[in-house]
Structure 1
Amino acid sequence: MTIEEAVSRVRPLDAAAMRAAEKRFSDIAMPLGGLGLLQDAIIQLAGIQRKPVPIIRPRAAVIFCADNGVVAEGVTQCGQDVTATVTRNMGQGRSTMCMMAKSIDMDVFPVDIGVADKFSFKGVVDKKIRKGTENIAENAAMTRDEAIAAVKTGIELAENCAQQGFRLVCGGEMGIGNTTTSAAVTAALTGASASRVTGRGAGLSSEGLRKKMQAVEKSLAVNRPNPDDPIDVISKVGGLDIAGLTGFYLGAAACGLPIVLDGVITCTAALAAVRLCPLVADYLIAAHCSEEPASALLLQELGKKAFITAGMHLGEGTGAAAGIALLDLALAPYREMPTFDEIGVEAYKPLK
């Protein structure tokens, strides 16, 4: 599926299924709106899956792993080699995300879309576009053709998930330096200042944060990304993980799959996908608001409210996993709870 084909296949939500889900919530024996944002998400899931009782098993997490040349600017606490190490651990099921996903019965597929090291690790899907990106403070991250190839790879992986029968997906990422690239992409797409969207990532000092902000500012000045062209933005100041996630979200929506978002990097990609196809927003469910400063801005741009505000900023899809666990909890009473009529109690009525 090409980018254009994916855009053309995204459908509006099914209004009849959503009305049926709303009625189910008004009928079952609980206070009106008692499950808050989780209730809203279940109604959204009904609209996405086009049936009143959504099914979110089996589910899959696709984790895009890639290196970023901007680490040369001193924007990270650790070296680029950590990307390959964590990618290998993911392939072995030993990362934080893998362990969290196992606890909620979710499959994890780590994808090498741009790790700098040349390797072939068991359990890692090889979709490498190139060995890491250029230093965005000096040059464009990648060519436009490479960015398009990465987006198309994400679309292909979403199609694979649909073909394998997964009913819900989430995206994750791994790549040292990717909170810098996500800050640059967010600034380019929203017009926000570098100081507003740049955070400490994996524990930067104040001096490190200053260097990171300077790198973001320089990348925007050097590359002049076009905010009206998400592919241009990603190719100039983004990363291969962001490009892959952008395609993954676009492809999932085209295949009718609900998407649970993770933190700031995945939300950056989600905004790029929505700029390519506004209807994608209807397929996005926000799990948590990351500790990174750009997170709240991105959720606002996407028109989303997150279930969880827990100060998380680990990435990899861990916040999405936590959100999916909450959806499981909310779906239990939605499916099984008796109605007011069945227990002989007068139903709650909306107050004016």
Structure 2
Amino acid sequence: MENLTEEKLFAQLQELIGNISDLDEAAMGQVQERLDSLTKPQGSLGQLEQIAKQLGGIQGTSNPQIKKKAVLLMAGDHGIAAEGVSAFPQEVTPQMVYNIMNDGAAINVLARQANADVFCTDVGVAFPIEATGNIIQKRVANGTKNMAKGPAMSRQEALQALLAGAEVAQEKIQAGYNLFATGDLGIGNTTPSSAIVSLFTNSPLEDVVGRGTGIDDAGLINKRQAIQKAIDVNQPNTEDALDVLCKVGGLEIAAIAGSILQAAASRVPIVVDGFISTAGALVAANLAPKSTAFMIPSHGSVEPGHCKALAGLGLEPVLNLNMRLGEGTGAALTFHLVEAALHILNEMSTFADAGVSEKS
């Protein structure tokens, strides 16, 4: 893929987007009929019912099933870290990649509890990473450039990272996975995410920029200033999602967007994690508006911009746990709710089965 021209990469992206179609309305109607016949007041299970209906529409059946679950975690570093926007040094990114490889991170624990597998893809870590175990190597560059001084990446690199994320999703679909979660890893990545969310939702930076890994008040002011400088220097065109992505985005954010696009094209539901993942989802939605129908929201992050990002996608979180870790942790927890929705749909008795009187 690295040898392809920008034009050929763009053609591949357009082909991928062209494969995304609408949800199956007939299947959703059948799921709704089944839900309405179950021994409960109609709609009383709220978002669980909505998830069941969505899964029916995605899979095109009144009896949707989950076979194998995977967290697709994308890792990358950020040149903007040189502006002091994070409380942690960049060396933490590769250290956490290996922590995930060794099953020691929060996402490993939560995914294991959900009976899901974790795959961590290096699309832009600034340090050497070997492809071994659950680590996938698809590096586009050794991190992004400092977006406060110019574009974070070239348009070609943005396309490569998008398609790398799509490739990972496609490989896992071919291996039998049919429910995904997004995840992220990369010191400084709330900074480009804030820029993306601010631009796509037309929100002031004061409303979207948070403390990330725990910066102090002075650090927060500096972070906002760095993002404003990046926007001023690069002048991203919000009518062109690729322009926003390459100027103020991240390689792992691009890969997250690509994994969402591939999931949508393959009719596989994908649970969107926190702030960084939702920035990637905004990129995907601006490239392919139909892709939002295949996204399942997870939790509401403490990061202030997350609610803006979710609103921009028309999504409502199913969990509020005051989390802000990333890695796909909130999405992995949401796997339990997705499966609960299917158990309700497929296992609960109808009024007729149970001999229970319906509403008069």
**TM more than 0.5:** yes
Question: How far does residue 334 in structure 1 lie from its aligned partner after superposition?
Answer: 1.9
> Of residues 294, 309, 313 in structure 1, which corresponds to 2:320?
309
Match of 1:244 in 2: 255
Is 1:113–2:123 an aligned residue pair?
Answer: yes
Q: Which residue does 1:218 correspond to in 2?
A: 229
* 1:198 partnered with 2:209: yes
Q: Which amino acid aligns with 1:39?
A: E
Contact persistence 2:84–2:223 (CA under 8 A): yes
Verify the 8 A CA contact 2:181 2:272 in the aligned structure 1: yes
After TM superposition, list the pairs within 5 Å mapping 1:50-61 onto structure 2: 50-61=60-71
Indicate whether 1:333 and 2:341 are aligned.
Answer: no
Mapping 1:162-177, distance limit 5 Å: 162-177=173-188
Matched-pair contact (CA < 8 Å) for 2:86–2:187: yes
**CA shift in 2, pair 1:348/1:166, >3 Å:** farther
Letter in 2 for 1:258: P
Provide the residue aligned with 2:138 in structure 1: 127
CA distance, structure 1, for counterparts of residue 136 and residue 20 of structure 2: 26
Deviations along 1:240-293, one digit per CA (max 9) or x if unpaired, are 011111111111101111111100111111111111111101101101111111
Q: For residue 121 of structure 1, report the CA deviation from its aligned partner.
A: 5.3
- Cα drift, residue 190 of structure 1: 2.2
Q: Is the 8 A contact 2:129 2:137 kept in 1?
A: no
Q: Percent identity?
A: 38
Aligned residue number for residue 103 of structure 2: 93
Distance in 2 of aligned mates of 1:310 and 1:136:
32
Q: Helix, strand or coil: the match of 1:170?
A: strand
| Residue 318 of structure 1, aligned match among 304, 310, 329 | 329
Write the letter of the residue equivalent to 1:118. Answer: P
Displacement of 1:339 after TM fit?
Answer: 1.0
8 Å contact from structure 1 (residues 154, 246) kept in 2? yes
Q: Residues of 1 paired with 2:319 and 2:277: CA distance?
A: 16
How many angstroms apart in 2 are the aligned matches of 1:81 and 1:340? 58
Deviations 1:160-192 (A, max 9, x none): 122111111111010000000100111222221
1:102 corresponds to: 112
Shift of 1:53: 1.7
Deviation string for 1:69-125 (max 9, x for gaps)? 111111111100000000111122221101110111111110111110113153211
How many residue pairs align between the two structures?
Answer: 349
The reply to whether residue 185 of structure 1 matches residue 203 of structure 2 is no
Q: Distance in 1 between matches of 2:19 and 2:310?
A: 24
Distance 2:309 2:142 in 1: 28
Aligned letter for 2:173? A
Q: Distance in 1 between matches of 2:274 and 2:320?
A: 11
TM-score, normalised relative to structure 1 = 0.97
Query: 1:244 is aligned with what amino acid?
Result: A
The 10-residue stretch of structure 1 (77-86 or 339-348) with the greater mean CA deviation from structure 2: 339-348
Indicate which of 160, 164, 168 corresponds to 1:153.
164
Q: Which amino acid aligns with 1:58?
A: K
Structure 1: runs of 5 or more not aligned = none
Aligned to 1:287: 298
Q: 1:347 deviation in Å?
A: 2.0
The CA RMSD over aligned residues, in Å, is 1.2
Q: 1:45 and 2:69 equivalent?
A: no
1:225-240 equivalence runs, <5 A: 225-240=236-251
**Counterpart of 1:169 in 2: which secondary structure?**
strand
Structure 2 CA distance for aligned equivalents of residues 154 and 94 of structure 1: 24
Whether the 8 Å contact between 1:173 and 1:266 is mirrored in structure 2 is yes
SS of match in other structure, 2:187 = coil
**Rounded Cα–Cα distance in structure 2 between residues aligned with 1:134 and 1:3:** 23
After superposing on structure 2, the runs of 4+ consecutive aligned residues of structure 1 that deviate more than 4 Å are none
- The residue identity in structure 1 corresponding to 2:92 is V
Q: Give, in angstroms, the shift of residue 150 of structure 1.
A: 0.4
The answer to whether 1:3 aligns with 2:13 is: yes
Question: How far apart, in 2, do the equivalents of 1:77 and 1:348 lie?
Answer: 57
Letter in 2 for 1:302: L
* Letter matched to residue 262 of structure 2: G
